[in-house]
Chain A
Amino acid sequence: MKTIKGGFLGLLFGMLIFPILFMLMLAFSLTWRYPQLIPESFSLHTFLNIFSSGSNILGGLINSLLIAIVVTLVAVPLAFYISKQVAANSKRKYLILCAYLPFTLSPVIYAACLNYYFVLAGLNGTIFGVILAQLIIVFPYNIILFITHWNTQINSYSDLTATLGGNRIQTYFKVLIPLSKTILLIAFFQSFLISWFEFGLTNFIGIGQVNTLTIRVYQYINEANVQLAALSSLILILPPLFMLWLNKRIMFHQI
């Protein structure tokens, strides 16, 4: 039984670690010819290239970080507040239905529908346009995530705080946000990851002028530039891995 469990864990570990190890070797290899199992020689050349002036990877990394951070910081607090109003609204069924709309249509088709307005507003090919387009997906996602959070008990806490003399801001900062810490953390992580890995919508609205790391990876793969594709993929998975680690630490700390 122990052997089966160990074997299964080993397999799982291998499945998770092997692609990362493989990309690491690919990114730092100088020559790797068939049928060699590992590269014949390694070099930091590709890695150091990131920091050279005009590096596409560094630019993509900065754009990705900027877009993901702004999208997360706008979408989560806004959805947290709006979802409370939606939950208390008599027409909440229809409002929730609206929140599902971008997902029923698929984000890219939704972007295609909105493209006309983006062109009209001169937002195509701009970082602001991409942020706005991603918000159209991430904001309703958070509304859906938060809507069930506003149950009778949390509303009772809110009412109780009011009767104890708390104004709306005090109610949010002293009660609702601390009580919603777990779901807020999940929302922040998920929103960051959705934005971080977003490709279709960013490509559509960015029209090749807003280069994020995800777009770079696809470009390098298309160009058959395996070293840069591997390196940018590695950089692409670093923030999610860090957040996964951070999330686990915070969650365990809470328990």
Chain B
Amino acid sequence: MFVKIQNIKKTFVGQPVLHDVSFQLEQHATLSILGKSGCGKTTLLKIIAGLLHPDEGSVVINDIKVNEIIANKRDIVYIYQEPLLFPHLNVFENIAFGLRLRKLDNNIIDRLVIEMINELGLKGHEKKIPTQLSGGQKQRVSFGRAIIVKPKLLLLDEPFGNLDVETRTSMQLLFKQISEIFGITSLIVTHDLKEAILMGDKFGFMEDGFLKIYSNKTDFIQDNNTGVQKEIEFWKNL
């Protein structure tokens, strides 16, 4: 397996946040983890990204234990709910940011960024600064900036949470499409049931720091804890 998360435990000021969290994920696949706010989803992502240290357990990427590798050397990009575009850079430079950090040749950067801008449907917006973009466009730039550096693993922390329903749906589809094109391995955490089902190839449910992984979509849907059955009942009885 490409990603192996083994027995991760984390406690904050005596309060356990993650209990023995383990899962595995193959390359180029997306794991959707559904969970309410405060269930430990963000903590798990930050531990995998190297932004927090686990009390116990290991993070293994491509058979390499990365626990002791600092965040900027892990090749794992974390996407926040907010697009967090750099306000002092335009669209082009925001997308080129990770490539510039790697000190790539300017011609290569130009070519890759233009390709990415075209894939994201942002042609004509290159020179715009973040305040001139809509919410959906900002999130596209944020994806582009993350994907262009070809991370081993992409972590998405409720990335569509701030978007309206219509934009959210189009962004979810765009992300699926881009993930396939660039062969991205990703882990998305969300509290949105529909989003979890739409985005994932594999599924998990997190509650009070415990993570349950399902072998397939049907098991995830049929588990009463996930809330899918309640949702189906609601729409049936409407």
Q: Which residues of A contact B (CB under 8 A)?
A: 153, 156-157, 159-167, 170, 174-175, 178-179, 181
Contact = CB atoms under 8 A, between A and B. Distances in A.
B18 interface: no
28 contacts: A153-B82, A153-B84, A156-B84, A157-B86, A159-B49, A159-B51, A161-B101, A162-B51, A162-B70, A163-B49, A163-B50, A163-B51, A163-B71, A163-B72, A163-B74, A163-B77, A163-B78, A163-B155, A164-B97, A164-B146, A165-B73, A165-B98, A165-B149, A166-B101, A167-B72, A175-B86, A179-B88, A181-B88
Nearest to B151: A163
A159 B77 CA distance: 10
A244 B71 CA distance: 42
Contacts of A153: 82, 84
Contact of A166 (B51, B72, B78, B155): B72
Interface of B: 46, 49-51, 70-78, 80, 82, 84, 86-88, 97-98, 100-102, 145-146, 149, 155
Nearest to A165: B101
Given A164-B77, A164-B149, A157 B84 contact: yes
A181 B84 CA distance: 17
Contacts of B80: 156, 160
Given A156-B80, A159-B78, A164 B86 contact: no
A40 to B, nearest CB: 57
> SS class of chain A's interface: helix, strand, loop or mixed?
helix
A161 B146 CA distance: 10
The 10 closest A-B pairs by CB, nearest first: A162-B71, A164-B98, A178-B88, A163-B78, A162-B72, A165-B101, A166-B101, A163-B77, A159-B51, A165-B72
Contact of B87 (A164, A174, A179): A179
A160 B72 contact: no
A58 to B, nearest CB: 41
A123 B20 CA distance: 59
Nearest to B81: A156
Contacts of B82: 153, 156
A145 B101 CA distance: 30
B101 A160 contact: no
A175 B86 CA distance: 7
A157 B82 CA distance: 10
B69 to A, nearest CB: 12
Given A159-B78, A165-B73, 10 more contacts: A156-B82, A161-B101, A162-B50, A164-B97, A164-B98, A165-B149, A170-B101, A178-B86, A178-B88, A179-B87
Contacts of A161: 72, 101
Nearest to B86: A175
A157 B89 CA distance: 13
Contacts of B97: 164, 174
